Amino acid sequence: MNFELKSLGLQGASTEKCEAMLLLVNDGFKPGTDSMSQLTAQAIKAGDLQTKVGKLLSAYRVHGVSCARLVLVSAGDGSAKSVRQAVAAGVGSLKGGPAKNVTIVFSDAPQRGAVRAAMVAAAEASYAYISTKSKPEARTLQRVVLGVASAPAVKTEFERAQALVAGIELAKEWANRPSNHATPTLLAQAAKSLAKFPKIKCEVLGLAQVKKLGMGSFMAVSQGSAEPLRFIVLKYEAGPKSQAPVVLVGKGITFDTGGISLKPAPEMDEMKFDMSGAASVLGVFRSLGELQPALNVIGLIPACENMPDGRAIKPGDVVTSMSGQTIEILNTDAEGRLVLCDALTYAERFKPRTVIDIATLTGACMIALGGVRSGMFSSDDALAAALLDAGESALDLCWRMPLDDDYAEGLKTHFADVANVAGRAGGAITAAKFLQRFAGKFSWAHLDIAGTAWKGAAAKGATGRPVALLLEYLLAQVTPPEGPGKRVGK
Ligand code: BES
Ligand code: MN
Ligand code: ZN
C-alpha cells in the first residue's frame, strides 16, 4: 500500500483533483466558506449525513468540488477508534468501484493516533490475499493520500504507521499462506530476506544444531513430520551495545493437526494459522527494518509441523527440554508450549531486558476473551502495564490474566518434572503456568493470540495482530538521546 501525507484544509480539499475523496466529519463540524464545507453542513442539517460513526453519504461530480467521487463519513468524536471505524466504512463503500486512489481528508486537526488508525483501517479494508490464486484480484486501493491541515504535525506518526502497515501486511501474508506454502523452511527464507534491511541479521538452525543445543521438547513435536524443523534467530541491533535486548518469541507451528491426539476434521484447515505468533515477529522486524529505531531486539521462532505418524510422539511420552526439565506429553495437541519452552531457554543467552512470547496457544483463551482482546500474562507488573498501554494506544487490545501458583497444580505428574496439560478448566492459564517454568531468569510476558490472530467463517483470514501492539511497546522503549530539547540537570 502506497501512502502520501499532504497539508490540505477544507478549502484545498474542495479543489483537490483525485479519483475519490473521503471527508471525515466529526461531531460539531464547523464549516468554512468552501463548497465542500457548505454541502457537508447542509447534509448534516437535512439529516442526510447521520452523525453516527461510520454513516456515509456518497456523491458524484458535485458542483464546486473537483474530486469526482466524494464520500462524507461521520467520524463521531474524532478519536482514533472512531476514525478507524469511519475509514473502514468509507473505504469499504469504494470496493468494486473504479477508484484505485483515495484522498482521506481530516476536517479537524487529527487527534492522537487518528492518522495511524486511518492508515491501518484503509490498508485493512483494501487488503486482498493473492499468493495462491491463479487470477489474483487487484487490491481495491493502490494509493491513499492523507489530507490534514498541517502535515508536519503528524509526520512522525505517519512514518511510523507506514512501517506498521508494512509489518502487518507481512504478518498477514505469512499467516494466510497454506501450510504447504509456508513450511518451516519457507518461513526461514522469509526471515532471511528481512536481513536486506540495515541492522537486521538472520541465522537459521536445523535439526543437527537444535539437537546439539538439547532442545528435546521442540524436536519431539517435529518428529512426526516429514518437513524439517527450523529454529529462526533474527537480530535487530541498532541500540547501544550495552543495552540488553527485548526478545520476541513467536510460536511457529506451520500446521497443527494435534498429532496423535488428533484434532477433529471441521475447521482443521484453520490450524495453518498456528504460526501467527511467528508471523507477527516477522512483521515487527519488517517494521523495525523500515523505521530503524535505536533498539536491540531479538526474534526467536521455533518452526515445525505437528503431525501424526509412526514416528510421532505419543501421549505419555517423556522428553527432556533444553532447560533440563523433563516433560510428560499427556496430549500431543498441547504442542505450542513444547516448542516455546525450548525457545525461552534459548533466550537466556541474550541476557534479555524482557522476553515476550506470542502464540496461538489455547482454544481456551479464545473462549475466554473472544476476538477482541489477546490474553496477556506476566509476572512483571511494569511490563504488564506497558503492554496493556501499548495495546490501548495502538488499538490492538490485550487483557491481563492471572498467574496464581495454584493454577499449576494440575500440571503435576508422577512421571516427569511437569506434564504438558492440566484439566480443561482455566486452560489458557495453565498453559501460561507451564511456560512460566521456563521463564524464571528474565522479565517475561506471554500473549495468547488464539482468538485475535485470525478471523473465521466468511471473513476467514489473518488479522496481523498483535504487530501493532508489539511495535508500539518497542518504540516506547527507545530512550530519547541526550541533547538540545532535553534538559540535563535541574
Ligand atoms: N493451536 C492450538 C490452539 C488453538 C485452538 C488456537 C483453536 C485457536 C483455535 C493449540 O496447539 C492447541 O491445540 N491447544 C489445545 C490445548 C489442549 C490440548 C490442552 C486446545 O486449546 O485445545
Ligand atoms: Mn495443538
Ligand atoms: Zn497449536
119 plus 70 within the same structural domain: yes
Find the radius of gyration of the CA atoms of the chain: 24
10 and 62 part of one domain: yes
pLDDT digits (tens, 9 = 90+) for 396-451: 999 999 999 999 999 999 999 999 999 999 999 999 999 999 999 999 999 999 99
Residues 96 and 229 occupy one common structural domain: no
User: Among 353, 352, 355, 354, which Cα is nearest to 340's?
Assistant: 355
| Domain range enclosing 175 | 166-476
- Statement: residue 392 has pLDDT above 80: yes
315 and 405 inside one domain: yes
Helix count (H) and strand count (E) of the chain?
A: 14, 20
Q: Which of 117, 149, 181 marks a domain boundary?
A: 149
Is residue 215, in this structure, part of any structural domain at all? yes
* 325 and 434 housed in the same domain: yes
74 Cα–ligand 1 center, Å: 40
Q: Binning pLDDT at 50, 70 and 90, where does residue 136 land?
A: confident
Q: Give domain status of residue 418, yes or no.
A: yes
Answer yes or no: do 343 and 398 share one domain.
yes
Over 80: is that where the pLDDT of 235 sits? yes
Which residues fall inside 5 Å of ion ligand 2, going by CB? 256, 333, 335
307 has pLDDT over 60: yes
CA 42 to chain centre: 41
Average pLDDT rounded to a whole number, residues 28-46: 95
pLDDT of residue 481: 72
Cα atoms in the 13 Å half-sphere on the side-chain side of 295: 26
How many angstroms separate the alpha carbon of residue 259 from the centre of ligand 2? 8
Q: Which of 333, 340, 357, 452 to mutate to test the pocket of ligand 1 (most atoms within 8 A of CB)?
A: 333
Q: Is residue 131 located within the same domain as residue 174?
A: no
Atom of ligand 1 at shortest distance to CA of 364?
A: 21
Q: 285-304: per-residue pLDDT in tens? A: 999 999 999 999 999 999 99
- In a domain? residue 154: no
Q: Based on the domain organization, do 252 and 279 belong to the same domain?
A: yes
Examine the fold and report which residue of 149, 183, 214 is the final residue of a domain before the chain moves on. 149
The answer to whether residue 369 sits within a structural domain is yes
3-state SS record for 286-328: HHHHHHCCCCEEEEEEEEEEECCCCCCCCCCEEEECCCCCEEE
Query: pLDDT at position 139, please?
Result: 79
Q: Is 402 in the same domain as 458?
A: yes
Between the CA of 339 and the centroid of ligand 2 the distance, in Å, is 11
The sheet that has 317-320: what strands, in order across it? 317-320, 326-329, 418-419
What pLDDT does residue 488 have? 44
The predicted model gives 27-36 an average pLDDT of 93
**Share of residues in the chain with pLDDT > 70 (%):** 98
Same domain, 116 and 173: no
Average pLDDT over residues 465-481: 94
Provide the sign of the torsion angle of the four alpha carbons 293, 298, 304, 305, taken in this order.
negative
Q: Are residues 173 and 118 in the same domain?
A: no
Whether 353 is catalytic is: no
CATH of the domain at 386: 3.40.630.10
Predicted local confidence at residue 311, as pLDDT? 98
Which CATH number characterizes residue 84's domain? 3.40.220.10
The answer to whether residue 413 sits within a structural domain is yes
The reported pLDDT for the residue numbered 489 is 42
Residue 490, pLDDT above cutoff 50: no
Residue 138 has pLDDT above 90, yes or no: no
Is residue 159 domain-resident?
no
Q: Which amino acid is at 75?
A: A
- Residues 333-341, mean pLDDT to the nearest whole number: 99
Ligand 1 proximal residues by C-beta, below 6 Å: 256, 274, 331, 333-336, 360-364, 366, 421, 427, 450
* Co-location of 329 and 297 in the same domain: yes
Residues 261-277 have pLDDT tens digits of: 999 999 999 999 999 99
Closest CA to 69 of 32, 95, 30: 95
Query: Of all atoms in ligand 1, which is nearest to the CA of residue 363?
Result: 21
pLDDT tens digits, one per residue of 203-219? 999 999 999 999 999 99
Of 89, 121, 149, the residue that ends a domain is 149
The β-bridge partners of 202 are 234
Please determine, for residue 140, whether its predicted confidence score (pLDDT) is greater than 90: no
Tell me whether residue 384 is in a domain. yes
Query: Which of the following is catalytic: 69, 286, 337, 373?
Result: 337
417 C-alpha to center of ligand 1: Å?
22
Residues in the chain: 490
Average pLDDT over residues 38-53: 97
Pocket test of ligand 1: the residue of 256, 339, 362 to mutate, having most ligand atoms within 8 Å of its CB, is 362
Has residue 424 been placed in a domain? yes
In the chain, the number of structural domains is: 2
Catalytic, 263? Answer yes
